[in-house]
Chains A and B, each alone.
Chain A
Amino acid sequence: MTTSLMDRIRDQAFASGVPLAVHFDLTYRCNERCLHCYLDHEDHGEMTTAEVKRVLDQLADAGTLFLTLSGGELLLRRDFFELLTYARMLRFDVKIKTNAILIGERDAVRIRDLGVRQVQISVYSHRADVHDAITKVPGSLARTVTAIRALTRLGLKVTIANVLMRQNAADYDGVRTLAAELGAEYTMDPTITPKMDGDTSVLALRMPQTQVLQLFKDRSLVGDDFCKPAAPAAIDDPDVLDALPCSAGHIACYITPYGDVYPCVQFPLPTGNLRRQPFLEIWRDSPQLAEVRAIRVRDLHGCPSCGFVATCTRCPGLAYMEGNMRGPSTADCEKSALRASAATAQGAFE
């Protein structure tokens, strides 16, 4: 994909307030019970097939191009392929996120034939005992790997998403090697988020800072530019201070299986419900979205005077879950400090 062209499209979407990218969880039900999961897997009344189709119609009319379908495990929905067919008929660019353990050869062919552009699959470890202990499903790694082979053999673009926590912190290199063997791309993320209901008990799974620091020092993993702290002058730079914290609520949003609309999957601020209001009414008129859109970096508490402000990957959703969407996301504060430490260790200031 041409990056500069995509940047231009994003800029145009920002300027005209188009919800270019939507993450839509079709179910919270799941066939795995991952230790770190932030969801309640009980079905509290998912939208029906007709309701989901109506939402997809509204998103297409609103200008959404990038549609991520996820869950829970979305293949648990009996109407999954009907909804996928409908989404592709509406010409969304579809990415699906799945654990893949229900994807057999025929399903892989259907996914390919329907024109899904990307499939993201969670793998926690290349070692079955570690992966299966995290998912709490014996045999899950073997089934997931079998599905990945079926998908990549058909030419589908598969990305292995490797969420790292205490249990699998040492396994990223093994998963990266496995991804290469399978013909899949690899991405890792050490972010563990509180549960949607605010329960923070899962945060105890976060990797110790010493291990995150090791990750950040691995340039083959994070790239050459990741550990480059801003020059001190950046704290007075209007381009930095007037920047938007992220795309959530501006050109992107998240929809739950129950029709709730949030700025992002990691930013569970209720802005409206699609069973009661049309999408565009929420997108254009929600006071909560208006508040999110009004925030600039200079409005954040503590950030404008922080030396890392220009390079920080602060997540406003994590800040919201900590209690204040204008406040710090302490996990990201720690990451910024660790990136600086990694840069110093690598001599990036020389």
Chain B
Amino acid sequence: MRFVRRGDRVAARRVGSEMVILSADDSSLFVLNEVGTLIWEAADGRTTLDAIAGGVCREFEVDTETARRDVAEFVQALAAAGVVSLSEDQSP
């Protein structure tokens, strides 16, 4: 199982239907759409990636495999940017 957790060194706020994320380290700016915002808000380090993909399936009517693949790619991209961290271990 894999877990995703929001990073400590970013600022974030929902503006309208989007999530605005700003890195303290390099001022990189990210704006997440509704799907990305759902993933971000679920990224508490205790919810599995599969469970997050399940939430995407329910909210946005996509099939399970597509949701799993898209969520995995999305969080990998965010992790590469330092916005989230991925772990095999659940956060306390």
Known A-B contacts A65-B22, A93-B22; the reply to A60 vs B29 at CB < 8 A is no
B1-56 CB contacts (< 8 Å) to partner A? 8-16, 18, 20, 22-25, 27-29, 31
Q: Is the CB of A65 within 8 A of B11?
A: yes
Q: Is the CB of B15 within 8 A of A9?
A: yes
The winner among B14, B15, B28 for most chain A CB atoms within 10 A is: B15
Q: Is the CB of B22 within 8 A of A60?
A: no
Q: Which of A11-19, A38-46, A186-194 forms contacts with chain B?
A: A11-19
Tell which of B11, B14, B16, B31 touches A5, judged by Cβ atoms closer than 8 Å: B31
Q: Is the CB of A63 within 8 A of B24?
A: no
Question: Which chain A positions have C-beta within 8 A of B25?
Answer: 155
A86 vs chain B, min Cβ distance (A): 14
Bound complex: CA A233 to CA B27 (Å): 38
A122 vs chain B, min Cβ distance (A): 22
A88 vs chain B, min Cβ distance (A): 8
CB-CB nearest in chain A for B31: A5
**Does chain B have a CB within 8 A of A94?**
yes
A1-27 CB contacts (< 8 Å) to partner B? 1-2, 5-6, 8-9, 12-13, 16, 18, 20
Tell which of A20, A64, A157 touches B27, judged by Cβ atoms closer than 8 Å: A157
CB-CB nearest in chain A for B17: A12
Q: Is the CB of A65 within 8 A of B20?
A: yes
Tell which of A6, A16, A20, A115 touches B24, judged by Cβ atoms closer than 8 Å: A115
Bound complex: CA A124 to CA B73 (Å): 49
**Does chain B have a CB within 8 A of A92?**
yes
Task: Please report whether the interface of chain A is mostly helix, strand, loop or mixed according to DSSP.
Answer: loop
Question: Which chain A positions have C-beta within 8 A of B13?
Answer: 60, 63-65, 91-92
Bound complex: CA A60 to CA B5 (Å): 20
- Interface size in chain A (residues, C-beta < 8 A): 24
B54 vs chain A, min Cβ distance (A): 25
Question: Which chain A positions have C-beta within 8 A of B8?
Answer: 115
B78 vs chain A, min Cβ distance (A): 15
**Does chain B have a CB within 8 A of A117?**
yes
Question: Which chain A positions have C-beta within 8 A of B20?
Answer: 9, 65
A80-135 CB contacts (< 8 Å) to partner B? 91-94, 115-117
Q: Is the CB of A91 within 8 A of B16?
A: no
Known A-B contacts A65-B22, A115-B9, A117-B11; the reply to A12 vs B16 at CB < 8 A is yes
Bound complex: CA A116 to CA B10 (Å): 9
Question: Which chain B positions have C-beta within 8 A of A91?
Answer: 10-13
Question: Which chain B positions have C-beta within 8 A of A157?
Answer: 27
CB-CB nearest in chain B for A59: B13
Known A-B contacts A65-B20, A116-B24; the reply to A92 vs B11 at CB < 8 A is yes
Question: Which chain A positions have C-beta within 8 A of B29?
Answer: 1-2, 5-6
Interface residue ranges, A against B (CB under 8 Å): 1-2, 5-6, 8-9, 12-13, 16, 18, 20, 60, 63-65, 91-94, 115-117, 155, 157
10 A-B residue pairs with CB within 8 Å: A9-B15, A12-B18, A63-B13, A92-B13, A94-B11, A115-B9, A115-B11, A116-B24, A117-B22, A155-B25
Top 7 nearest A-B pairs (CB, nearest first) are A93-B11, A65-B13, A115-B24, A117-B24, A115-B9, A1-B27, A91-B12
A6-B29, A12-B18, A117-B24 known; 8 other A-B pairs, CB under 8 Å?
A16-B15, A63-B13, A64-B13, A65-B22, A91-B11, A92-B13, A116-B24, A117-B22
